[in-house]
Amino acid sequence: MRSGVTREECVALDRADPLASYRGEFVVEDESLIYLDGNSLGRLPRATVDRVGQVLDAEWGHGLIRSWASTWVEMPTRLGDLIGTGLLGADPGEVVVADNTTVSLYKAVSAALDSCPERSTVVIESANFPTDRYVVESLARQRSLDVRWVPETGPEPLGADDLAPHLDDSVAVVVLSHVDYRSAALLDMPVLTALARGVGALTVWDLCHSVGAVPIDVHAAGVDLAVGCTYKYLNGGPGAPAFTYVSAARQRKLAQPIWGWWGGADMFDMAEGYSPQADIRSWLTGTPGVLSLAAVEPGVEMVVRAGISAIRQKSVALTGLAVELYDAWLAAEGVTLSSPRDPDRRGSHVTLSHRDAKAIAAELADAGVLPDFRRPCGIRLGMSALSTRFVDVYDGLAALRNAVTATRR
Amino acid sequence: MRSGVTREECVALDRADPLASYRGEFVVEDESLIYLDGNSLGRLPRATVDRVGQVLDAEWGHGLIRSWASTWVEMPTRLGDLIGTGLLGADPGEVVVADNTTVSLYKAVSAALDSCPERSTVVIESANFPTDRYVVESLARQRSLDVRWVPETGPEPLGADDLAPHLDDSVAVVVLSHVDYRSAALLDMPVLTALARGVGALTVWDLCHSVGAVPIDVHAAGVDLAVGCTYKYLNGGPGAPAFTYVSAARQRKLAQPIWGWWGGADMFDMAEGYSPQADIRSWLTGTPGVLSLAAVEPGVEMVVRAGISAIRQKSVALTGLAVELYDAWLAAEGVTLSSPRDPDRRGSHVTLSHRDAKAIAAELADAGVLPDFRRPCGIRLGMSALSTRFVDVYDGLAALRNAVTATRR
């Protein structure tokens, strides 16, 4: 593709796109809106409207309490298996969906720490997403841990050479984000996991910005624990619950810290003394939110059906187009590329920086283009392969060019 | 009311019931079903179907990411205020809705413990709901606490004389359920809270089985912390999120343990170092489930509109009718009353025990009557004043009488 790519060429790319039909599976009421924030909140699948309606009418309204036994009780593991086997390279019984990402991270990091009480250091990127850092800070305060902050490497991904100096046999757990929420830097999961394991540390991977957009194989990478959200590329809805992966091998050795009746061996035994479930359900706490859980299923099914290879292929083309248009239109206008140029090192969004980013984002919103503004000066353009078109990227970048020009005046 | 109460008298009671019209505000597809489990899962309000549809279509589908700023971000506190001021006797800013009951209890008990590290004892009823006990057990293990189990007093409520021997100046926190999930025993919140405070201990009240059914005044009782669920008498839907009350005075001294971006002072600052919100929002962890939160609002609004006094009055009449019919039909049939006889000491359900309870519950289900079976031998009959009719109680107890007879054959 030449840097002088035309809108007509983008229309042609959309016409030839094998995933083009998926856009029709989403509710798109306003075709004039250019939505480049599917990495923050994915669009609403049409099937989700039906699924939630079914939960309300048939399962809650009509089935009432009986629906717990007939269907709801299995939702956290059924949905976990769908995500685990379909998108993570996990086996059935290794993933569960419940609680939010923050609580899930708290459980995962806490369990990792408990498994090796003789170690008291946590390693985490200083550029990691705030909630990941806050969770580590709260556990560090509770347990008098030593936190090692790995300096920011952005926009390039944290590499083995960056991580290695922070690892030694005092490290209990390494907390990393697979795709950086700002730069979209894509970390090498197998290499970094192996590096941590080399010093006897466990890894907790945050998959929020990669699941559904980037191929993941937790088994091949030897990942111990992972947590991810379902409301970005999985289109699970605002605040949809998170998933937690615990490798089968680790499940026998790891215990999460928030004991509740859903994690207990027999939920209705009402027994004295907590005894955890013998499987991934021990990672449950209390009653999961059924409406939110049910809303996750159709989006995940769609992503699995489309296939992560096809999604990744289109995603790389979309972000590549954004970079190409940046080069052609914005590089000379005071805008910086804050994402890796190499598609193999990049997730499914592209961040551009400008000192007037806030004003530019406001201009864009007025022009019907919705990216994400990230302080202090980032404009994050998210491409969701199942609903974002090549023309959306073209029109969005064109609007961005206009907004940059407008704010300079 | 005579023990020889007739079905016609129940029909007359329903006709005279000032709350009768509320039943029409719920989805009742199968009028032949006698639902006596609203204390486990409340019925679906019609308004909830509309509200959830609005969130899906207008807010998620159309508004997309913009709906966070315009409405969703305030849901945990808006709904918290509605519950707090409408049903708990709290001020605005003292209640927040997020996470499930188990996680909320974990945060509350943990915060209470952190506030007085020189004390290491937790007092809890041995008959408390499993998740309450498990949460205390998990914290006891993490922190090497001493747990004092107050022996069961059922079916009568735990009184001051029962609690007092377990209190001294080593006690950090007392965890009590306002209404017992099995017996419906209603504890004297002001008296027991004052007793705990007398030795310098904080109280964490579990309001799951009382909120929306029993008048609560946390200010008058001097309660420090309380947690409750929204899917029973508040009709918030399966697994609907829990609420947490933290008195304004305590908020300055208490910090919850799971730090996340939603509890941070500036969610989008992405700052180094966790700094909590200065208000009740510091009790948030990660992104709350919007669909589940939205579904809670209509049910709470309905309960507030109906008024807790009217609800309690009808609830007492309904449970009183159940006790009266028990006396007339079941007391001589090997069935035991496992709830307090005095309505002032009883919540909104009545538990009857029989050695063949499991078989009886199955018979009842076949007869279109849905109570709750609670091992080993309890049949829990829940009366939800806004949707349960006097004839439902009559027909339900009549079916129970038949089922007892049938299992004896």
Is B99 near chain A, with CB under 8 Å? yes
Considering A182, A232, A346, A389, which one is annotated as catalytic?
A232
Is B190 near chain A, with CB under 8 Å? no
Count interface pairs A-B at CB distance under 8 A. 249
> What are the angstrom distances between the C-alpha of B287 and each of A161, A230, A245?
34, 11, 19
Q: Residue A313: CB partners within 8 Å, gap ≥ 6?
A: none
A293 phi, psi to nearest 5 deg: -65, -45
Structure tokens that stand for A104 in this block: 């899930």
- Chain centre to alpha carbon of residue A279: 24
Contact (CB, 8 A) for A388 and A369 = no
What does pLDDT average to over chain B?
96
What are the strands of the beta sheet with A336-337, ordered from one edge? A336-337, A349-353, A378-382, A372-374
Categorize the per-residue pLDDT at B270 as very low, low, confident or very high, splitting at 50, 70 and 90.
Answer: low
pLDDT at A1: 39
Question: Nearest CB to B72: which of A60, A238, A291?
Answer: A238
- What pLDDT digit, counting tens, does each position of B285-335 carry? 999 999 999 999 999 999 999 999 999 999 999 999 999 999 999 999 999
Residues in chain B: 409
Q: Helix (H, G, I), strand (E, B), or coil: what is residue A133?
A: helix
- Say if the Cβ atoms of A285 and B103 lie within 8 Å: yes
Can you tell me the distance from the alpha carbon of A376 to that of A395, in angstroms, rounded to the nearest whole number?
24
**Statement: residue B406 has pLDDT above 80:** yes
Contacts of B293 in chain A (CB under 8 A): 239
- Say if the Cβ atoms of B138 and A270 lie within 8 Å: no
Q: Helix (H, G, I), strand (E, B), or coil: what is residue A149?
A: strand
Q: How far is A4 from chain B (nearest CA, A)?
A: 32
Contact (CB, 8 A) for A73 and A220 = no
Q: How far is A22 from chain B (nearest CA, A)?
A: 16
pLDDT at A271: 67
**Preceding peptide of B155 cis, ω within 30°:** yes
Q: Residue B363: CB partners within 8 Å, gap ≥ 6?
A: B402, B403, B406, B407
Question: Nearest CB to B287: which of A33, A239, A273?
Answer: A239
Nearest-Cα residue of chain B relative to residue A239: B289
Write out the E strands in B98-232. Answer: 121-125, 146-150, 171-177, 202-206, 225-228
Can you tell me the distance from the alpha carbon of A75 to that of A227, in angstroms, rounded to the nearest whole number?
17
Contact (CB, 8 A) for A196 and A217 = no
Q: Could you confirm whether A129 is annotated as catalytic?
A: yes
Contacts of A292 in chain B (CB under 8 A): 289-292
- What pLDDT digit, counting tens, does each position of B169-194 carry? 999 999 999 999 999 999 999 999 99
pLDDT at A374: 85
Judge if ipTM > 0.90: yes
Is B344 near chain A, with CB under 8 Å? no
Percent of all residues in chain B with a pLDDT value above 90, rounded to a whole number = 94
User: Helical H runs in B62-129?
Assistant: 66-70, 75-83, 101-114
Q: How far is B260 from chain A (nearest CA, A)?
A: 4
Instruction: Name the residues of B annotated as catalytic.
Output: 129, 206, 231-232, 380
Is A190 near chain B, with CB under 8 Å? no
pLDDT at A27: 97
Q: Residue B178: CB partners within 8 Å, gap ≥ 6?
A: B186, B187, B189, B205, B206, B207, B209, B210, B214, B216, B347
- What pLDDT digit, counting tens, does each position of B215-268 carry? 999 999 999 999 999 999 999 999 999 999 999 999 999 999 999 999 999 877
Residue B36 is classified by DSSP as -
- Say if the Cβ atoms of A274 and B27 lie within 8 Å: no
Is B245 near chain A, with CB under 8 Å? no
Residue A209 is classified by DSSP as T
Is A332 near chain B, with CB under 8 Å? no
Can you tell me the distance from the alpha carbon of A399 to that of A169, in angstroms, rounded to the nearest whole number?
51
Structure tokens that stand for B150 in this block: 């107050």
Contact (CB, 8 A) for B39 and B211 = no
Q: Residue A217: CB partners within 8 Å, gap ≥ 6?
A: A88, A89
- Say if the Cβ atoms of A103 and B285 lie within 8 Å: yes
Interface of B with A in 101-120 (CB under 8 A): 101-103, 106
What is the mean pLDDT for each group of 10 consecutive residues in chain A (409 residues)?
A: 80 98 96 95 98 98 96 98 98 97 98 97 96 97 96 95 98 98 97 98 98 98 98 98 97 96 84 89 97 98 98 98 98 96 98 95 95 90 98 98 88
**Statement: residue B271 has pLDDT above 80:** no
Is B137 near chain A, with CB under 8 Å? yes
Question: Nearest CB to B56: which of A52, A65, A270?
Answer: A52
Structure tokens that stand for A82 in this block: 């769908």
**Statement: residue B283 has pLDDT above 90:** yes
Structure tokens that stand for B21 in this block: 């019209």
pLDDT at B375: 83
Is A221 or B270 the better-scoring residue by pLDDT?
A221
Give the mean pLDDT of B123-142.
96
Question: Nearest CB to A239: which of B56, B61, B290?
Answer: B290
Q: Helix (H, G, I), strand (E, B), or coil: what is residue B151?
A: coil
Q: How far is A71 from chain B (nearest CA, A)?
A: 12
pLDDT at B3: 56
Is B100 near chain A, with CB under 8 Å? yes
- Say if the Cβ atoms of A261 and B131 lie within 8 Å: yes
Is B142 near chain A, with CB under 8 Å? yes
Exposure class string for A186-209: b at 16+ Cβ within 10 A, else e = bbbbeebbebbbebebbbbbbbbb
